Structure 1
Amino acid sequence: MYSIRNRRLKAQLILLYRMVSGASYFPDLNSFISFASSSRRPMLLKFHLPQTNDFFSITVPIWNSIVRNISTFLTPSQFEQLVVSSISRF
């Protein structure tokens, strides 16, 4: 069983995945984050407001550290497996 911190982090990462994949609606998402323009790493995100302390500023750096070696966009189940296998690092 994972700690409450790790379970919340997993939920945040899965919510972010749903937002960037279009499965969950977030108005004006592009003003907060966008995909980095890398064909070798299609899941890396850029954060547009780095001086804030909100959901994106906390979650995006962890997202990028998890997906930095991924060369294709993952399916929801593949992403969840990656998060579960990586979550203990944080």
Structure 2
Amino acid sequence: MMEASQRKLSAAVVLLLLLIVAAEMGPVQAGECLSQSKTFKGWCFNSDRCNDKCLKESSAYSGGKCRGLYFLCFCITPCAASLE
């Protein structure tokens, strides 16, 4: 009986982790490159705060958003078009 509960709990944890990873690997806008903010401190739960920090950090950044499993602030810059 205890083994069945542990299996269900393990399966639920694995499923939750897969969902989190899948959500974080979602699409990035075309032509958008991300680099971690050097001035944002703490966990990034509010993309508006991250956006404001990135805009103040450099004029090269067009904004920012919270990303990743560790809730980090990433600043957005335009990517150079790749030649294929």
TM-score past 0.5 threshold: no
- Flag the structure with higher strand content: 2
User: Highest CA radius of gyration, 1 or 2?
Assistant: 2
TM-score, length basis structure 2: 0.23
